[in-house]
Amino acid sequence: MTGELVFGFYIFLLAAFVGYQVISGVPPLLHTPLMSATNAISGISLVGSIVAAGAHYNTVSTALGFIAVTAATINVVGGFVITDRMLRMFKKRERRRS
């Protein structure tokens, strides 16, 4: 158990460092798409909710799991849809308007 925890912290810290580095390179121009993209990615808690909703541990777990699956799916699908919608809008100048 302790070994697993230490291992988890390794992963957490290394991922946080990578995240810090990568995200520091994102220009302010794209900060809103960044937020909605990380929103979508954090919908990964779906992974936990799916098991709770499908495992039939007990009624309460199933119900909570179902609500969590719905909430997380809204984030994943909505997050990616809206990020793409935003990114499609960012255009470079088409060689000087005449």
Partner 1 sequence: MTAALVQALYLAASVLFILGLRGLTSPESARRGMVLAEIGMLLAIVGTLLHHDIVSYEWIIIGFVLGSAIGTAMGLLIPMTKMPERIALSHAFGGLAAALVGVSEYYRHGTELGSVTMAAIGFEVLLGALTFTGSLMAFGKLQGLITGIPVTYAGQNASNISLVVVAIAILIALVAEPAWATLFYMVLGLGFLLGVLIVLPIGGADMPVVISLLNSYAGLAAAATGFVLANNVLIIAGALDGASGFVLSIIMSKAMNRSFTNILFGAFGKVDEAAATAVVGRGGAAVNEGSDAEAATVLADAQSVIVVPGYGMAVAQAQHAVRDLAQVLERNGTTVKYAIHPVAGRMPGHMNVLLAEADVPYDQLFDLDDINEEFAKTDVALVVGANDVVNPAAKTNPGSPIYGMPVLNVDEARAVIVLKRSMNPGFAGIENELFVRPNTMMVFGDAKQMLTRITAALKP
Residues 17-56 that bind partner 1 (CB under 8 A): 17-20, 22-56
Among candidates 24, 71, 17, which has minimal Cα distance to 44?
71
How many residues bind partner 1, per CB under 8 A?
Answer: 86
Nearest-CA neighbor of 35 among 80, 71, 2, 4? 80
CB of 33 to partner 1, least distance (A): 6
Distance, CA of 8 to CA of 12 (rounded, Å): 6
Contact string (CB under 8 A) for partner 1, positions 60-79, x = contact: xxx-xxxxxxxxxxxxxxxx
Q: How far is the CB of 9 from partner 1 (least distance, A)?
A: 9
Dmax over CA atoms of the chain, in Å, equals 67
The number of C-alpha atoms within 13 Å of 16 and in the hemisphere containing its C-beta is: 6
Q: Please tell me whether residue 93 binds partner 1 under the rule CB under 8 A.
A: yes
- Rounded to the nearest whole angstrom, what is the least distance from the CB of residue 6 to partner 1 in the complex? 10
Residue 55: phi and psi, rounded to 5, are -90, -10
Q: How far is the CB of 52 from partner 1 (least distance, A)?
A: 5
Query: Taking CB under 8 A as the rule, does residue 92 contact partner 1?
Result: yes
